[in-house]
Chain A
Amino acid sequence: METPMATDETTDFGFESVALDEKQGRVDDVFRSVAKRYDLMNDLMSGGLHRAWKSHLISMLRPPRNRPFRHLDVAGGTADIAFRALEAGGPATHTTVLDINEAMLRVGAERAGDRFTGRIDFVTANAEALPLPAEQFDAYTIAFGIRNVPRIDKALAEAHRVLKPGGRFLCLEFSKVDLPVLDRIYDAYSFHVIPRLGARVAGDADSYRYLVESIRKFPSPGRFAGMIEAAGFRHVSHRALTGGIVAIHSGWKVS
């Protein structure tokens, strides 16, 4: 059975229910704490699978090689998705990496160095209130970020606003494991192994405990699809990967 979501005034922070305004600050603390070791931890936690999941996202994004393509990657701090999109696309593919957390963006900017000069920029901003004009982007991606946003409906509305008509929304997020044996293994791994890994590698077990709990509190794929539709997107679909550990959600801006 799905856990009820928090009320209008509160939201989930892992398994806790906190005031909406409080969540963002606590999420910031989590990511500030883990920023430098974030990609290493992703590799360790997922056994490298996050790379394959992200590659699959890029295969759905299909940045063109022969024409301009404006891509916005939200919650994209370390620029992992951006680099993949820019490598897959042509010289006229441009990615704006947006994240509320400056520490994460600094890691991304450092990693970018002189690569992709003129094709990438970094913006510190809140996904719920994008400081960007309407109808500017051909695609909006958010990978492992939407569950950390206090007001998901606002972030989805902003995604819809900044996309051009015909633009695509793609969201890679942890999902619900729907295989009987895998779900128990996954639970045991998530609640016992990941926080210990977080403690040893990133020096922060609590942050990784939050990450695991936030995955469990995130809406089911069907429910999230309904939220995407409610934001105005059409032709919404999702695809489970790896037994439902993650899912890629897709929607198109039509009007």
Chain B
Amino acid sequence: MRRTEAEASAALFGVNQPNPLKEMVAFLNRVGQVFGIERGAYATQSSFMAAVEDAFTALKADPDDPNRVDDFARRLHLDADTVAVLKQEKTADMLVGLIEKALGLDRLGLSLATVIKAGNNLDSAEADAMRTVLFRQAQGRNTWDDLGLYQPADPVRRAAA
């Protein structure tokens, strides 16, 4: 079993303690949902993340595909004006930006590409960064931003807690 699966299992079924990896797995599941990919449909965390990466690659290759845009619009609750622009866009910049906003990644200082890389390699620097940010964020604690500097916890998450 690859480390991704082993750690994901440990996170999901381990002791009931705050766990950075558990936060990360939960977040990756939300990323999958934005792409219309459910974790439950895959036997392993690695195959799930591979599917998310494939979907991300397809989005970048063909950003104005009207069916894909409609699917994202539904999941992200986008208005008609935004959908119209996205269908004319020849780049994925705006849609990726909107996905990042919907997931709160813009506030966390993580890009979608970083998160997907992190999910596909838990030993990567991206995964380290993501675990740290998510864990501290989940606890409503102040965190270190990507400049290595002190940053207050996300007020949205604090209010929801």
The interface of chain A, by Cβ under 8 A from chain B, is: 49, 52-53, 56, 59-60, 62, 64, 67, 138, 165-166, 168, 178-179, 182, 234-235, 237, 239-244, 250, 252, 254-255
Known contacts A59-B111, A165-B85; is A242 also within 8 Å of B151 by CB?
Answer: yes
Chain A residue, CB-CB nearest to B146: A56
Distance in angstroms between the alpha carbons of A166 and B86 in the assembled complex: 7
Distance in angstroms between the alpha carbons of A56 and B152 in the assembled complex: 17
B65 at the interface (CB under 8 A from A): no
B63 to chain A, nearest CB (A): 10
B13 at the interface (CB under 8 A from A): no
Residues of B within 8 A of A240 (CB): 151-152
B101 at the interface (CB under 8 A from A): yes
Among B15-23, B41-49, B92-100, B133-141, the stretch that binds chain A is B92-100
A61 to chain B, nearest CB (A): 10
B69 to chain A, nearest CB (A): 12
Distance in angstroms between the alpha carbons of A64 and B60 in the assembled complex: 12
Contact across chains for B98 and A235 when beta carbons are under 8 A apart: yes
Known contacts A165-B85, A165-B88, A179-B150; is A242 also within 8 Å of B145 by CB?
Answer: yes
Contact across chains for A252 and B150 when beta carbons are under 8 A apart: no
Per-residue contact bits, chain B 78-91, to A (CB 8 Å; 1 contact, 0 not): 01011011101101
Distance in angstroms between the alpha carbons of A244 and B151 in the assembled complex: 7
B123 at the interface (CB under 8 A from A): no
Contact across chains for A250 and B93 when beta carbons are under 8 A apart: no
Majority secondary structure of chain A interface residues (helix, strand, loop or mixed): mixed
The interface of chain B, by Cβ under 8 A from chain A, is: 79, 81-82, 84-86, 88-89, 91, 93-94, 97-98, 101, 106-107, 109, 111, 142, 145-147, 149-152
6 closest cross-chain pairs (CB), A and B: A242-B149, A52-B147, A255-B81, A166-B94, A165-B85, A254-B81
Distance in angstroms between the alpha carbons of A60 and B112 in the assembled complex: 11
Known: A49-B147, A138-B93, A235-B82; 14 extra A-B contacts, CB below 8 A, are A56-B109, A60-B106, A165-B85, A166-B88, A166-B94, A178-B152, A234-B82, A235-B101, A237-B107, A241-B145, A243-B149, A250-B97, A252-B97, A255-B81
Contact across chains for A234 and B81 when beta carbons are under 8 A apart: yes
Residues of A within 8 A of B145 (CB): 241-242
A47 to chain B, nearest CB (A): 11
Residues of A within 8 A of B98 (CB): 235, 252
User: Which residue of B84, B93, B111, B147 contacts A242 across the interface (Cβ within 8 Å)?
Assistant: B147
Residues of A within 8 A of B149 (CB): 49, 52, 241-243
Known contacts A166-B88, A234-B81, A239-B106; is A182 also within 8 Å of B150 by CB?
Answer: yes
User: Which residue of B93, B101, B146, B147 contacts A166 across the interface (Cβ within 8 Å)?
Assistant: B93
Chain B residue, CB-CB nearest to A53: B147
Residues of A within 8 A of B89 (CB): 166
Known contacts A165-B85, A235-B98; is A243 also within 8 Å of B91 by CB?
Answer: no
User: Which residue of A62, A178, A244, A254 contacts B93 across the interface (Cβ within 8 Å)?
Assistant: A62
A166 to chain B, nearest CB (A): 5
Residues of A within 8 A of B150 (CB): 179, 182, 242-243
Chain A residue, CB-CB nearest to B152: A178
Residues of A within 8 A of B97 (CB): 168, 235, 250, 252
Residues of B within 8 A of A49 (CB): 147, 149
Residues of A within 8 A of B93 (CB): 62, 64, 138, 166, 168
Distance in angstroms between the alpha carbons of A234 and B152 in the assembled complex: 25
B75 to chain A, nearest CB (A): 15
Contact across chains for A252 and B94 when beta carbons are under 8 A apart: yes
Contact across chains for B151 and A241 when beta carbons are under 8 A apart: yes
User: Which residue of A182, A244, A255 contacts B85 across the interface (Cβ within 8 Å)?
Assistant: A255
Listed by A's residue number, 16 A-B pairs whose Cβ atoms lie within 8 Å are A49-B147, A53-B147, A56-B147, A59-B111, A166-B89, A166-B94, A168-B94, A178-B152, A235-B98, A241-B147, A243-B149, A243-B151, A250-B97, A250-B106, A254-B81, A254-B85
